Amino acid sequence: MDERSVLLARYRATRAHTERLSAPLSPEDQQLQAMADASPTKWHRGHTTWFFETFVLGPQGVSPLDERYGLLFNSYYEAVGPRHARAHRGMLSRPTAQQVTAWRARVDEQMQQLLASCEEPVLQRLTPLVRLGIAHEEQHQELILTDIVAAMALHPHKPAALPDFPPDVPAPWKGRRELEGGLVSIGVQPGELPFAFDNEGPRHSVWLHPYAISERLVTVGEWAAFAEDGGYQTPSLWLSDGLAVVRAQGWEAPAYTRREGRAVVHFGPEGERELHPDAPCTGLSFYEADALATWLGARLPTEAEWEHAASAERDEPDRIGPSMGQWYGAAWQWTRSSYAPYPGFRPAAGAVGEYNGKFMIDQQVLRGSSSYTPPGHSRPTYRNFWPSPTRFQKTGLRLAWDLSP
Ligand code: AVJ
Ligand code: FE
C-alpha cells in the first residue's frame, strides 16, 4: 500500500473504533459527566471530530457543519477561540448524540475526499496533522472508557458500561532486572518515527546511576498487605502533599476499589468483580504509588530509567493484552519524574503547539499504557501526564531500586 492508502486506512479504522466503543452506550449514557475532570462520551465523539474539522479541513477551505460547535467542542485551544466551561459539558444536551453521529459521518466523508484526491505536496503537508488527529482520537478512546466508568460508578446499581470488557491479567511471576546505567539516550529524534507527540523529543542524553527495575507491576495483593499494615495511616511513608490529600479525602483504597473481608473488589467497564491478588493494582494516585513503593522497600523509577529499561525489552508495544513485563497494556505507571520539557523542546507554531507544551507544570509523567489504551498507541518514548492526586485513570506502578556501583 502507498502512504496515502495507509493514512486513509488508519484514519478510517480509528474513527470506526470510536464508534464501536461507544455503540453499546445509550444517548442517556453518553450524556453523563461524573465530575469536572471527566467528559461525556458524546462530547469526546464531538471533540475529536471538531479537531479534524478545525485543524485539517478548515485550513483547506472546507467550512464547518455548524460555526457554533467550536464554542462547545474546543477543549483548551486559546488560539482557536472561547470555550464552554469544561465542568459543564454534561449540560450540552444539544447537539444530540444522533446529531453528533451525523456530524462524524460528514467529517469522515470530507476527510476521505480530501486525503484521496489532494495533490501530493498537500498530502505531505497534511500528513503530520492527520496523524496527530488520529493519535488524539486514540487518546480520547481511552478517556471514553475512564470517563464512563466514573459515571457508572455513581449509579447505585453499578451497571457495566461494557460487559464484555476483558478483566485484568494476573502476573504471578516476580523478577527484576539490574541495569548498569551510565550515559544513555532517551526520547525521539524528529522524523525518527512515523508519529510521535512533540513532548517525546528531542532525543537527548541522560546519566543513570546503576538501578534495578521490576518485571511486573505492583499487585493487588501487595496493596492489600500495605493497607492491612496501616499504610494509609503511617505518615513516614507519605509525601507531605499526599498525606494531606489522603486525610482530606479519607482515602483507604484505590479508586473504584474496596476490601470486602479478604477480597478486593473493583469496578471497571465490565462491572464489579473480585480482583486476583496477582492482578496489577490500579486506580492509584501518584501519592499512593509513591507511598506503596516506599512501604515495599523500593521507589518509583524515573521516566529515563523506565524508558531505558523498556527499550531493551523485546516486548511488543502494539500487541493486544499486557506484555510479559507488563510494560504496556496493563496499567499506566507513575514515575518519579515531573512533566517537564526535554532539553531543546519547542512546541509547534500555531494552535496545535498548545497540545502538550503548556501543560508542563505541576504534573507527573506516566509511562507504558493500560488495558484501556487502544492497540497501536503505545511505545517506549510515550509520555503520559496527570496531576499527582489523579486516580480515575487506569494507573499503577512498577518498582525501582538503587544499586551500588
Ligand atoms: C495526555 C491524557 C493528559 O487527557 O488532557 C486529549 C490527552 N490531549 N486531548 C488529556 C489529550 C488532548 C491528555 N492526557
Ligand atoms: Fe482532546
Q: For residue range 73-107, list pLDDT tens digits in order.
A: 999 999 999 999 999 999 999 999 999 999 999 99
> Which residue's alpha carbon is at the smallest distance from atom 10 of ligand 1?
139
pLDDT band at 134 (very low <50, low <70, confident <90, very high): very high
Percentage of the chain lying above the pLDDT 90 cut: 93
Show the ligand 1 pocket: residues with CB < 6 angstroms.
136, 139-140, 143, 384-386
Res. 314: pLDDT tops 70: no
Contact 264, 275 (CB under 8 A): yes
Out of 74, 129, 142, 143, mutate this one to test ligand 1's pocket (max ligand atoms within 8 Å of CB): namely 143
Res. 158: pLDDT tops 70: yes
Which ligand 1 atom minimizes the distance to the CA of 393?
Answer: 2
**Ligand of minimum distance to the alpha carbon of 373:** 1
Q: Can you give the three-state secondary structure of the chain, one letter per residue?
A: CCHHHHHHHHHHHHHHHHHHHHCCCCHHHHHCCCCCCCCCHHHHHHHHHHHHHHHHHHHHCCCCCCCCHHHHHCCCCCCCCCCCCHHHHHHCCCCCHHHHHHHHHHHHHHHHHHHHHCCHHHHHHHHHHHHHHHHHHHHHHHHHHHHHHHHHCCCCCCCCCCCCCCCCCCCCCCCEEEECCEEEEECCCCCCCCCCCHHHCCCEEEEECCEEEECCCCEHHHHHHHHHCCHHHCHHHCCHHHHHHHHHHCCCCCCCEEEECCEEEEEECCEEEECCCCCECCCCCHHHHHHHHHHCCCECCCHHHHHHHHHCCCCCCCCCCCCCCCCCCECEEEEEEECCCCCCCCCCCCHHHHCCHHHCCCCEEEEECECCCCCCCCCCCCCEEECCCCCCCCEECCCEEECCC
Which ligand 1 atom minimizes the distance to the CA of 386?
Answer: 3
Q: What is the average pLDDT score of the chain?
A: 96
pLDDT at 316: 61
Q: Which of 70-84, 171-185, 212-226 has the lowest mean pLDDT?
A: 171-185
pLDDT at 1: 84
Residues in the chain: 405
Read off the pLDDT of each residue in 58-86 and give the average, rounded to a whole number: 98
Res. 234: pLDDT tops 80: yes
pLDDT at 320: 53
Which cell numbers in the block locate residue 263?
477480597
Q: Give the side-chain half-sphere CA count within 13 A for 71.
A: 7
**Ligand of minimum distance to the alpha carbon of 355:** 1
20 Cβ neighbours under 8 A, 6+ residues apart: none
pLDDT tens track for 184-210: 999 999 889 999 999 999 999 999 999
Res. 22: pLDDT tops 90: yes
Distance 273 CA to ligand 1 centre (A): 28
pLDDT at 319: 55
**Ligand of minimum distance to the alpha carbon of 332:** 1
Res. 131: pLDDT tops 80: yes
Res. 173: pLDDT tops 90: no
String of b and e for 62-79 (b: at least 16 CB within 10 Å)?
A: bebbeeebbebbbbebee
Distance 335 CA to ligand 2 centre (A): 23
Handedness of CA 304, 225, 168, 138 (dihedral sign): negative
Best CA proximity match to 97, nearest among 163, 165, 44, 135: 44
Read off the pLDDT of each residue in 228-235 and give the average, rounded to a whole number: 98
pLDDT at 11: 98
Return d(Cα 163, Cα 367) in angstroms, integer.
27
pLDDT at 348: 86
Q: Which residue has the cell 452506550?
A: 25
pLDDT at 92: 98
Read off the pLDDT of each residue in 139-164 and give the average, rounded to a whole number: 98
Read off the pLDDT of each residue in 352-379 and give the average, rounded to a whole number: 97
Out of 14, 139, 390, mutate this one to test ligand 1's pocket (max ligand atoms within 8 Å of CB): namely 139
Q: How far apart are the first and last CA of the chain?
A: 50
Amino acid letter, residue 249 = Q
Contact 384, 356 (CB under 8 A): no
Distance 139 CA to ligand 1 centre (A): 6
pLDDT band at 138 (very low <50, low <70, confident <90, very high): very high
Read off the pLDDT of each residue in 177-189 and give the average, rounded to a whole number: 96
pLDDT tens track for 244-278: 999 999 999 999 999 999 999 999 999 999 999 99
28 Cβ neighbours under 8 A, 6+ residues apart: none
Contact 263, 274 (CB under 8 A): yes
